[in-house]
Amino acid sequence: MNTPSSATGLRSQATDEVVSRLTAALSAGRVFVDAGNLDAYSHDAWPVSILENQQGQHPHRPDVVVQASNQAEVVRVLAIARETDTPLVARGLGSSVTGQALPTRGGIVLDLSLLIGEPELDEIDMTVTAPGGVRGSDLESWLALRGYTMNFFPQSLTRSSIGGWIATRATGQLSSKYGGIEQAATAYTVVLSDGTIVELSQKPRAAVGPDLRQLFLGSEGMFGIVTSVTLKIYRVAAATISEAWRLPNVWSGVRAMRSIYQSGLRPSLMRFYDETETRHAIPSYDDGGCALFLSFDSIGTVAEAERTEARRMVEELGGTSLGSAPVESWYSRRFDFSTVEKLLAEDGGYAETIEVAHLWSGIEPLYDDLKAALGPLADEVLGHFSHVYPQGVSLYVILLGRARDNKEAASRLAEIWRTAMEITTRNGGELSHHHGAGLARQAFIPESLGSQHGVIRRLKEALDPAAILNPGHLGL
């Protein structure tokens, strides 16, 4: 999706003035107004958007797509958008599964996939800094050659950008030890819509005013454009010990996670599957139990000691060991998304992933209510818990189904979203743990955020007074 063809074909509705100014401001071949590219950039990886594309529907079409390859070009494109009152939607690698980078009012899509360059390694402070368009897996591979890792592994590592991680408040599979992007990123640079360049950092902590690094996390391209990111790095762990466990039911597993985490242990991997998803996670295993995957990584013998402590807690809740093979197998296919993609490619096939979060005290009723209400809307409803905090946990629901045709599949997806969001709101849970708001959650945001939503509105007015950045998102 981020490899535009040449600027030929049907012209868009962008004014001649906007297109000719963009063409003059950017390197040759970086402005696209042909129908093929405008159609391609009107979709992302949101299943609703994928189904629309398959049906030839492009309701979120930009008027022009441009590619910036450095910060100065980003500043120039923003100036043109501002001076011509043209909406502008930043786009990383388009891996959003909630329609975050979809233009609601046409205008410019600013593709940042060429905002790349040689990373800067700091082996004293243990950080790496790279331009915002750099692909996560490219940076991880570059670090691996030097004996380091980010320990930040969203499932979309190979298809998302580090600037996108900031803008979406992303998290990774090892979050229980290494945290979400809010822990992983130490600094970043943002260009505001008026061209102001803001460098956000604390070295390593500061108490002069609030920590503004939080401000743009999850802002979904509505507050500014992220042009560079500094991330923590780690030496590759000397030892990783993994073990899968069988738990008799969902609640014994969730309690095992809580017990381990609240004891102060920090497994790098902590994933627990309900009965339905356990059949997918360990296909050879089907006795009605649920699977918990744990990994501990560390120097020396610490991982082994941590495993011993965790084992005692899991066994107290009825856990029995399934050995390390199921976890090793998961590592080998952990970036694979083909079950969802294959189903979406079938006529009438539909699939959705919805992740929410709640406190430990609220997660059980939320899980029960979601499973009961979503059950009739899909052939299978899978659930897992994979991001853990002392006070609560995320819940990730995967829905797989087949309808008569794509039209019926699309209306099923709309019903799924409505149901999931209403039930989560009613239970007082968080509408999204890490996939963000996008258009998928747009209608449900004001009620869910309550008084906080007014602050988002005021921030938007202050940071982007002309309201050109990604309008029609975050419930505004």
Ligand X SMILES: Cc1cc2nc3c(=O)[nH]c(=O)nc-3n(C[C@H](O)[C@H](O)[C@H](O)COP(=O)(O)OP(=O)(O)OC[C@H]3O[C@@H](n4cnc5c(N)ncnc54)[C@H](O)[C@@H]3O)c2cc1C
Q: CA angle at residue 158 from 170 to 345, to 5 degrees?
A: 95
Length of the chain: 476
Q: Is 90 a binder of ligand X (CB under 6 A)?
A: yes
Q: Is 167 a binder of ligand X (CB under 6 A)?
A: yes
Which residue in the set 14, 25, 108, 226 belongs to the binding site for ligand X (CB under 6 A)?
226
Q: Is 165 a binder of ligand X (CB under 6 A)?
A: yes
Which residue in the set 91, 232, 258, 371 belongs to the binding site for ligand X (CB under 6 A)?
91
Which residues on adjacent β-strands are paired with residue 402? 349
DSSP assigned state of 317: T
Q: Is 111 a binder of ligand X (CB under 6 A)?
A: no
Cβ atoms 251, 469 nearer than 8 A: no
The rounded distance, in Å, linking the Cα atoms of 222 and 402 is: 35
Name the residue with tokens 């980003």: 74
Q: Is 387 a binder of ligand X (CB under 6 A)?
A: no
Q: Is 179 a binder of ligand X (CB under 6 A)?
A: no
Q: 20-49 mask for ligand X (x: CB under 6 A)?
A: ------------------------xx----
Alpha helices in 352-443 (DSSP H): 360-374, 406-426
- What is the footprint of ligand X within residues 125-144 (CB under 6 A)? 132
Name the residue with tokens 């409505």: 418
Q: Interacting stretch for ligand X, rule CB under 6 A, among 120-128, 155-163, 319-327, 416-424?
A: 155-163
Which residue in the set 58, 232, 246, 434 belongs to the binding site for ligand X (CB under 6 A)?
434
Residues 6+ apart with CB under 8 A from 452: none
Q: Is 383 a binder of ligand X (CB under 6 A)?
A: no
> DSSP letters along 234-265, please?
EEPPSEEEEEEEEESSHHHHHHHHHHHHHTT-
Q: Is 100 a binder of ligand X (CB under 6 A)?
A: yes
Which residue in the set 220, 243, 306, 430 belongs to the binding site for ligand X (CB under 6 A)?
220
Phi, psi of 301 (to 5 degrees): -100, 10
Q: Is 87 a binder of ligand X (CB under 6 A)?
A: no
Tell me the site size for ligand X, rule CB under 6 A.
36
Q: CA angle at residue 319 from 317 to 325, to 5 degrees?
A: 150
The rounded distance, in Å, linking the Cα atoms of 106 and 225 is: 18
Closest distance to ligand X from the beta carbon of 302 (Å): 26
Q: Interacting stretch for ligand X, rule CB under 6 A, among 120-128, 167-175, 203-211, 401-409?
A: 167-175
Sheet holding 31-32, edge to edge: 31-32, 64-67, 108-111, 88-91
Q: Is 81 a binder of ligand X (CB under 6 A)?
A: no
What's the token pair of residue 272? Answer: 């627990």
The rounded distance, in Å, linking the Cα atoms of 288 and 275 is: 6
Q: Is 395 a binder of ligand X (CB under 6 A)?
A: no
The rounded distance, in Å, linking the Cα atoms of 214 and 211 is: 6
Q: Is 107 a binder of ligand X (CB under 6 A)?
A: no
Which residue in the set 19, 22, 93, 174 belongs to the binding site for ligand X (CB under 6 A)?
93
Q: Interacting stretch for ligand X, rule CB under 6 A, among 21-29, 96-104, 276-284, 451-459?
A: 96-104
Q: 436-465 mask for ligand X (x: CB under 6 A)?
A: x-----------------------------
Within its chain, how far is the Cα of 118 from the centroid?
A: 24
Sign of CA dihedral 256, 257, 263, 268: positive
Which residue in the set 61, 82, 307, 435 belongs to the binding site for ligand X (CB under 6 A)?
435
Q: Is 189 a binder of ligand X (CB under 6 A)?
A: no
List residues binding ligand X (CB under 6 A).
Answer: 44-45, 89-97, 100-101, 112, 132, 154-156, 160-161, 163-165, 167-168, 170-171, 220-221, 225-226, 337, 434-436, 470
